[in-house]
Amino acid sequence: MRDQNRTSMGKDKNGSFVPPKGRPSGTGRESSGLRDAFAVTGLDEDNELAEKYTSGPDKPAAGITIRHQNRNVDKGRDREEER
């Protein structure tokens, strides 16, 4: 029976083992790289960005360009109602 913690190495054309490339993800990192969702330290900055880029809860501000204007235009509507 194989040991579950061991990683298996591949073989090349000649049959000799090839070690895995690269490093495991997360090596040398202290955190996941994501902001702490419950941190209150950047609340003022978040509010400034929200005021700058939005006008209302779901609308982008007037000067903001949207890349895909027609993407998900039917979001929130049932397709059966339109037929």
Summarize pLDDT for 37-62 with one digit per residue, the tens.
666 667 788 888 888 888 887 788 88
Show the CA angle centred on residue 29, arms to residues 28 and 33, nearest 5°.
155
Q: How far apart are CA 42 and CA 55, in angstroms?
A: 20
Summarize pLDDT for 1-50 with one digit per residue, the tens.
455 555 677 888 998 988 888 877 766 666 666 666 666 667 788 888 88
Specify whether the backbone of 28 is left (phi greater than 0), alpha (psi in -120 to 50) or beta. left
